[in-house]
Structure 1
């Protein structure tokens, strides 16, 4: 089991050392690449903490949607989406290399992740973007979803993910955050 967390999304969590403390308890981090949150300074800070803590570094690309934190699905051409995802992942790869680190995986964020789970065109664009950056990058997606199948077909190594802190629908998809019971905040229930 690999416990992962999304990081680099909130500046106050860097300032109060929350990210540093968090990385004592995870195996991998997914670093925001500027689409929904984060900037080059934050990315470098997250990479350096991950290196110091011996935590796997992952890219966390999203729709270009800082206004809505990448939580809204966007009507974006598949070629434009490929460019957006590729550029975000490439930026993190470059920053990691400049800081002595290595990006091991990619995990799409928010609406991009949720849409790719059931939309093959979106998943295909994400997969092709990853291949253009580095076909050896692993890609993380919702266990049992269409995105995992699509990434497998593209020849990418996949990581099937499940969430301890999220509710699921009967079809295996994540319950939308607009529902009061979408997030599991009780540690006993999450375990």
Structure 2
């Protein structure tokens, strides 16, 4: 069992590291700052202040560790459990594409929480522009994922809706960190869905 997992585990760690390096850990940073801010402050102003702080807090560390460990575990599980490598890889790529639509959807749904920053800049696109951009990305995802696209989109919708609710209630809108967290969480949710498909021998 250990020998069978060794190869996929090393591959999973390498894949996650490459993803983090290529993106400059931008989404991971957003996830950590969002976790620290949304659950680390008593007031809206304090939460936004914490999110601007470059130091990593307890909530941020837990969120970051959980995200990375889950991604490695899921990729290793998928690698060890399916012979349909091309199909699995295609769905995981679709997950990354779907993840890029998440911040556009949130920017269309919620106002910027600050008068400056990435959330404000993306908010200037307007609702229509944001939704058109998101729809374009999602079309690419559907073309990539094929028949499994509805399953992946449903999985991605869960963290988007949860993050929307939390951001609206606790800071009154979105920031660049929240948008980065949306990418990280939707990509993770799709990976969970793909792993479930593999475990059920559907891939």
TM-score, with length taken from structure 1: 0.29
Looking at CA atoms only, which structure, 1 or 2, has the larger radius of gyration? 2
TM-score, with length taken from structure 2: 0.27
